[in-house]
Amino acid sequence: MKLLSRIYTVLMFVFLYAPIVVLIVFSFNESKSRSMFTGFTLKWYAELFRDDVILNALANTAIVAVISALLATVIGTAAAVGIHAMNNKLKNVMMTINNIPMVNPEIVTGVSLSLLFVFGIQLLQKLGVDASLNMVTLVIAHVTFNIPYVLLSVYPKLRQMNPHSYEAALDLGCTPLQAVYKVILPEIMPGVITGCIMAFTLSLDDFVISYFTSGPTSQTLPLVIYAMTKKRISPKINALSALLFATVLILLLIVNIRQMRDSSKNEPKKERSFAS
Amino acid sequence: MKKRAALPYIVWMLVFTIVPMIMVVYFAFTTKEGAFTLENLIQVKEYAGTFWESIELGAVSTLICLLFGYPMAAIMARSKAHVQRTLVLLCMMPMWMNFLLRTYAWMTILENNGLFNSFLQLIGLPKLQMINTSGAIVLGMVYNFLPFMIIPIYTVMVKLDTRLVEAAQDLGCNWLGVFRRVILPLSVPGIISGITMVFVPAASTFIISKLLGGGTMLIGDIIELQITGGANNLNLGAAMSLVLMIIVLITMMVMNVFGDRESEVALV
């Protein structure tokens, strides 16, 4: 039984990782062949860093991810505090609305935002203002799908909090704003950070919604990858995958080592892993 | 007082979530000139075959994910704590890589002159046509969404009270009985969320079919064609999105009803 589950686990991970290993191995392939390994080279990596389209897309991706993650974190955290203070009926309404972008198929969210932007752009053009799909529409779209995840990671922290500590702060002479900053915010910080990281990674990786809401000036990395898979395929894409995978691996290792150190430092306090 | 903090959120969600949904309905029921019409929705009927194929492929992928993901989740839930952590991480890691790249990797493997066929030739077997088949699409969906099945089931199973299993064993249940009467009913909530988390993106995907299925068009692809592709018929695209949304909604309602009933049974 034990052996059987070991074999099963190994097979499962072979299935999950085989394509990634293939991509990485062939990023070092001398020729363009995708089935024969003809020799080791790093030239695809060199070419990758000379490709302006890719570098430009990388910059766009980073900008959109940072701005949308920060905006979503601010709006989502404030929302969690506000919703926490509402009565149950209002709370339910808010949570239902919050679920819409999460349960809707991504393509429907993308199409609906695209329709809104098209409508808005037509309206602006009638008023004589030049408008098109650009970085602004892309950031708006990303903030929209990020907010629900921030809210859902902050809200549970508020519920775990002792409700009287806020009141105590007020009694001790804090203004409501001070009480939020000095008492509530430190308490919910782990949730805020988790939400922010989640928003950042979701934004980095998003393809479907970006596809419908970005213009020619705001191409992100996933969009460029998509364009690359449509044309004749260059092994540059393999080199790119390998680098992205290495980045993710390192980030995850850092996050996990940090968590392990934290949990060994204060043993009784159980921190929820970000990855799970 | 504190309630006001939610104001930016309410405005944002209203303008960028609720209004776009209304836009979908508005565009679905109007002509290009803005007059009311049912034509778009009637036209969607012509694509019934595509819708059906998407649902079918999505359902098959979901079933395969469940069959292979459930044992994996069970194995993970029964491992030691530090092993569990690593396994969860290993399960999630492929998902952190862009799904286009993952799908593209499968193209490399499944191609007619790809790795798998080279391997077959090496051991003296005839080549197989794998890419551009519906099997390849299902494989792509299973590969991309399998973690979405494993993780929710694992999350439920890891919280499962082992004393219940022991009690069932003490009361004379054999291995199969314990599974059928205790473990399976208690893991239903995980299965339900796993099914929705796999089925919704699988049935509405619009790239996997393109890359792995050759010319196969699924719902996602025909919607894309209307909105950003060559067809440029926003109204028809909106009508299709509306129908897709309704299908997903019905699926989720059915799953919820099923889930509620199952968990009641489990409590009794």
**According to the 3-state scheme, what is the secondary structure of chain A?**
CHHHHHHHHHHHHHHHHHHHHHHHHHCCECCCCCCCCCCECCHHHHHHCCCHHHHHHHHHHHHHHHHHHHHHHHHHHHHHHHHHCCCHHHHHHHHHHHHHHHHCCHHHHHHHHHHHHHHHHHHHHHCCCCCCCCHHHHHHHHHHHHHHHHHHHHHHHHHHCCHHHHHHHHHCCCCHHHHHHHHHHHHHHHHHHHHHHHHHHHHHHCCHHHHHHCCCCCCCHHHHHHHHHHCCCCCHHHHHHHHHHHHHHHHHHHHHHHHHHHHHHCCCCCCCCCCC
A12·B224 Cβ contact <8 A: no
Determine the Cα angle at A249 with ends A106 and B61, to 5°: 40
B204·A106 Cβ contact <8 A: yes
Give per-residue pLDDT as tens, A141-194: 999 999 999 999 999 999 888 888 888 999 999 998 898 889 999 989 988 988
The burial class, CB within 10 Å (0-12 / 13-18 / 19+), for B78 is middle
Q: Which of B16, B23, B92 faces A140 most closely, judged by CB atoms?
A: B16
**Which residue of chain A is at minimal alpha-carbon distance from B210?**
A230
Q: What percent of chain B has pLDDT over 70?
A: 96
Tell me, yes or no, whether A114 and A226 share the same domain: yes
Chain B hits for A106, Cβ within 8 Å = 201, 204
Q: Which residues, including other chains, have CB under 8 Å from residue B260's CB and lie 6 or more apart?
A: none
Q: pLDDT value at position B267?
A: 46
Round the average pLDDT of chain B to a whole number and report it. 89
Tell me, yes or no, whether A164 and A258 share the same domain: no
Range of the domain at A173: 54-231
Chain B hits for A94, Cβ within 8 Å = 6, 10
Give per-residue pLDDT as tens, B59-114: 999 999 999 999 999 999 999 988 898 899 889 888 878 888 888 889 888 988 88
Q: pLDDT value at position B262?
A: 59
Q: Which residues of chain A fall short of a pLDDT of 50? A: 267-276
A225·B98 Cβ contact <8 A: yes
Look up the CATH architecture of domain B50-98+130-220+242-267.
Answer: Orthogonal Bundle (1.10)
Q: pLDDT value at position B1?
A: 65
| Under 8 Å between Cβ of B72 and A8 | yes
pTM score, whole prediction: 0.88
Q: pLDDT value at position A56?
A: 93
Tell me, yes or no, whether A165 and A264 share the same domain: no
Q: pLDDT value at position B155?
A: 92
Q: Give the number of domains in chain A.
A: 2
Tell me, yes or no, whether A70 and A201 share the same domain: yes
- Could you report the predicted ipTM of this complex, rounded to two decimals? 0.88
Q: Mean per-residue pLDDT for B152-181?
A: 90
CB count within 10 Å of CB A127 equals: 7
Q: pLDDT value at position A232?
A: 66
Tell me, yes or no, whether A172 and A268 share the same domain: no
CATH code at position A171: 1.10.3720.10
A21 lies in some domain? no
Chain A hits for B68, Cβ within 8 Å = 12
A126 lies in some domain? yes
Tell me, yes or no, whether A70 and A200 share the same domain: yes
**Which residue of chain A is at minimal alpha-carbon distance from B220?**
A107
Q: How far away is chain A from the Cα of B136, in angstroms, using its nearest Cα?
A: 14
Q: Mean per-residue pLDDT for B197-206?
A: 92
